[in-house]
């Protein structure tokens, strides 16, 4: 019997879902852009099982369109439907939670699947801002996402410019 595990990334436009997938796969498989809206459909990518030598395990990660795109209700629906079908949800944010993100997290928590909250683009904030946002995230997802399921990353770090 083959075990398939489907991991779905979901979040607002430009949160860094595609960048996170590129970082996890260590190659550019997803289109990314500053404008946002690059992802128009759910797209699946096979994950490396990192040394698990078996043909009984298949891991895939699914990139989805952003939730709050202009004229994007259809794209948001694609993302939500993918989350319902997946086994694990990675909810990607790039700042404190917006109302649409809070609503979606509450909606997704009702389907009783594990949810990881990934605060991406952390490199864009000062240490104080990071702590403030972390505290707010923990408070805002209490009862929906456990604190130990909140992670912080910079999937596509910003190059720091140093003046000399």
SS3 109: helix
- Reported as a single tens digit per residue, the pLDDT across 94-142 is 999 999 899 999 999 999 999 999 999 999 999 999 999 999 999 999 9
The Cβ of residue 43 has, within 10 Å, a number of other Cβ atoms equal to 17
Residue 150 β-bridge partners:
117
pTM given for the model: 0.84
Q: How far apart are CA 123 and CA 143, in angstroms?
A: 28
Q: Would the CA dihedral through 78, 4, 91, 145 be positive or negative?
A: positive
- Reported as a single tens digit per residue, the pLDDT across 54-96 is 666 778 889 888 887 655 677 788 889 999 999 999 999 999 9
- Reported as a single tens digit per residue, the pLDDT across 20-65 is 888 887 777 776 655 555 556 667 777 766 655 566 677 888 988 8
Nearest CA to 125 out of 92, 163, 160, 98 is that of 160
């Amino acid at each position: 019997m083959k075990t398939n595990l489907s991991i779905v990334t979901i979040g607002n436009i430009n949160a860094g879902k595609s960048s996170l997938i590129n970082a996890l796969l260590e190659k550019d498989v997803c289109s990314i852009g500053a404008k946002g809206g690059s992802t128009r459909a759910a797209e699946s990518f096979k994950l490396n099982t990192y040394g698990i030598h078996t043909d009984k395990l298949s891991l895939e990660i699914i990139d989805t369109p952003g939730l709050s795109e202009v004229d994007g209700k259809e794209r948001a629906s694609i993302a939500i439907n993918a989350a319902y079908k997946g086994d694990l949800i990675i909810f990607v944010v790039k700042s404190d939670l917006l109302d649409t993100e809070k609503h979606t997290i509450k909606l997704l928590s009702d389907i009783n699947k594990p949810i990881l909250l990934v605060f991406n683009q952390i490199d864009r904030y000062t240490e104080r801002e990071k702590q403030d946002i972390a505290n707010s995230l923990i408070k805002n997802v209490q009862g929906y996402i456990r604190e130990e399921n909140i992670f912080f990353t910079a999937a596509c770090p910003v190059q720091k410019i140093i003046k000399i």
